[in-house]
Amino acid sequence: MKKSKINGHGHLLPEPKQIPQFMKDKKLFWIDDDKGFMRQGNWSRPITAPSFFLKEKLEWMEKNDIERSVILNLSQLYCNGLSLEDTKDAIRFQNDFNGEVQQNYPDKLTCGFVIQPRYLDFALAEIERCVETLGLSVLCLPTHFINAVGKWTSVADASVDPIYELANQYKLAIEIHPYDGQKMIQLEDAYWRFHLVWMMAQTADTLHLYTLKDIPNRFPNLRTCFAHGCMLGQANLGRRVQGFNGRPDLFTDAKHPEATVGHPNLFFDTLVHDVHTFQLLKSRCGVAQIVAGIDDPYPLGEMEDVPNSYPGKVLDEAVAHGMINKREQGEIWHDNVLKWLGEV
């Protein structure tokens, strides 16, 4: 029997009229009435596909034989650097929107919720609200956030442990996703470098600390997925091992980088764009830890309106190259996503 396809990495925008006026007044986030651009402060980004919106999303899923999608939060609403008041407003709006979507389409859409680790008391209260009241079970975290003294900090920092402790009690799935690279790295924003290069570095950096600090074992009920295959993290393992072995004085109380390779609670999505990187991902962590992820409908996702792209392309090419078989492809599209979500 053919297994249904579950997309473990998708995004959804609210309709312009669903966004409260205060979001635009405060320049937190809004969408043009003609749906041409999403905006935040002085930043804007074109809305490149109709399936950014709910009705068209469901039609796009049906067209591409995708039975169900995991809808992650919007990276623009990580709220890095915002005041507590603005953070509360933006995050509650995002989580309420995702909660309503999941409530209305529970068989089609599983939605994530977001918190801002800087404001720990609010973050913990919001986790409780999202789980107990909204029925959400996928916690979306940025790779990095601005802490109380204005310093960029990995979400694997010890200050975030109370969040993992509560998430562990609720047995949540976690998604770790990069953003705001241009605010962290003092380079000209040219040729989309922060999405194409520095996002990969952000994710690899947090995987580095996440595993050295033994978070997968210290919080055994968590199942964590790193976005975009954490592709640089896969390629960087040998250098991390060399550094650990060569300078043990710099790794006091840290676990060996290889200790969590292939860990059953560490997952990586398939959005790595080429079969050679997919082969490395498979070799590093094993088929069982890979979940299908399209990152739709962004143009960096596997979208059919991008030349030489379509949903599931890398997996099809991996089968064609003999890297995985059809059974393993079905597991990545279905079984492994359910394992990450904690539904099997």
As for how many domains the chain has, the answer is: 1
| Full DSSP string of 130-174 | HHHTT---EEEEESEEE-TTS-EEETTSGGGHHHHHHHHHHT-EE
Q: Which residues contact 75 (CB under 8 A, 6 or more apart)?
A: 142, 177, 178, 179, 180
Residue 102: pLDDT band (50, 70, 90) is very high
Which residue is it, tokens 């796009």?
60
Rounded Cα distance between 165 and 174, Å, is 13
pLDDT digits (tens, 9 = 90+) for 28-45: 999 999 999 999 999 999
What is the per-residue pLDDT for 3? 85
Rounded Cα distance between 160 and 164, Å, is 7
Residue 193, domain extent: 5-341
Structure tokens at 335: 């079984």
The CATH number for 300's domain is 3.20.20.140
Residue 166 has pLDDT above 70, yes or no: yes
Which of the 8 DSSP states describes residue 230? G
Angle formed by the axes of helices 120-132 and 161-170, to 10°? 10
Q: Which residues contact 46 (CB under 8 A, 6 or more apart)?
A: 36, 37
Residue 140 has pLDDT above 70, yes or no: yes
Instruction: Give the pTM.
Output: 0.97
Residue 2 has pLDDT above 80, yes or no: no
Helix extents (H) in the chain: 21-25, 54-63, 84-104, 120-132, 161-170, 181-184, 193, 199-212, 215-218, 231-235, 237-246, 275-285, 313-320, 326-330, 336-341
